[in-house]
Amino acid sequence: MEKAEQQNTAIVLATFGTATTSALAGLLAIKTAMAAAFPHTPVKLAFTSNQIRHIWHRRAADPAYVATHPQVPGDIFRVQGILAAIANLQDQGFTTLVVQPTHVAPAEEFHDLAAYVRGLLSIRTMKPRWQPFQTIALGRPLLGTYHLAHTYADDIRLVAQALADDAALARDRNAALVYMGHGNRFFPSGGLYLEFAARMRQLYPEVLTLIGTVEGFPSFEEVLADLRLHGARRVILKPLLVTAGEHATRDLAGPEEDSWLSRLSREGFEVLPVLRGLGAQPTVVQIFVDHAAQAAAEAGVELGR
């Protein structure tokens, strides 16, 4: 019974994706960790960004690019969206799925993903045995979401604990620790980011930890005002993003005059950018693995450790 259930079960790792080749390592690290934790359960990677999937499909059709980038796995060149990935798994006989997002906050992308899952689960055939899915369990994003068994505050605390090395680096450099989150102009996710920063300051009181976002609140201007208020002169910049992709290499630490690095430098701060995505930090990756395991357990799904 257990063997048959495992054969019908798969994990779908739903991530926005990245077009930055060097940033793929963070996503692949999560997939590798998930596969290692559940060696008898296939793990499928899906990119939710249409634009990024199209970029990789174009690159796949370019023999010169493929030849000069042997480090890119074939499933990245063939990467699918969440609906296509799930449909293909169902066609292969997988009727029980655990969909684990790599989203940081439970904002727009996570809610869209949840809508897809609800829609698929709503399918009811006349004969129950022909229903396409028995179960689709949805895991929580990194900073949690509304959940009666797992409060988002506990998830935020776990993330802050997982980033102890960041705080230690800032303490050793006598610097403020400034994170860049993505944010959203239309979704009020700023409170979660501020709670995360407050939890970091509580756990590591010797370090001034602040966070701003590319879009929405809190903005770079709020971060700058707090740095001035606390009299900070040194700053460590780090993305609170799964990958150190375009936002990290351009918006955070790029050479352009409007990057956070350039703007802080003009303000007289000594700035050290650390272009390391969350996917490159094993303590954070483990949280995604744990969220998948918890979602499976709550749905009565055996992942086959």
Phi, psi of 59 (to 5 degrees): -65, -35
- Residues of the chain scoring pLDDT < 70: 1-7, 305
- What's the CATH code, domain 2-151+281-298? 3.40.50.1400
CATH architecture group of domain 164-278: 3-Layer(aba) Sandwich (3.40)
162-194: per-residue pLDDT in tens? 999 999 999 999 999 999 999 888 888 889 999
DSSP line for the chain: -HHHHHHTEEEEEEE---S-GGGHHHHHHHHHHHHHHSTTS-EEEEE--HHHHHHHHHHHT-HHHHHH-TTS-HHHHT-B-HHHHHHHHHHTT--EEEEEE--SSSSHHHHHHHHHHHHHHT---SSGGG-S-SEEEE---TT--S-SSS-HHHHHHHHHHHTHHHHHHHHHTT-EEEEEEEE-SSS--HHHHHHHHHHHHHH-TTS-EEEEEEESSS-HHHHHHHHHHTT--EEEEEE-SSS--HIIIIIIT-SSTTSHHHHHHHTT-EEEE----GGG-HHHHHHHHHHHHHHHHHTT-----
State the burial class of residue 24 (Cβ atoms within 10 Å of its Cβ: 0-12, 13-18, 19+). Answer: buried
Residue ranges of the chain assigned to CATH 3.40.50.1400: 2-151+281-298, 164-278
Count of beta carbons in the 10 Å neighbourhood of residue 32: 13
pLDDT of residue 190: 87
Distance CA 191, CA 178 (A): 16
Token code pair at residue 34: 């998930």
Burial class, 28, CB count within 10 angstroms (exposed 0-12 / middle 13-18 / buried 19+): middle
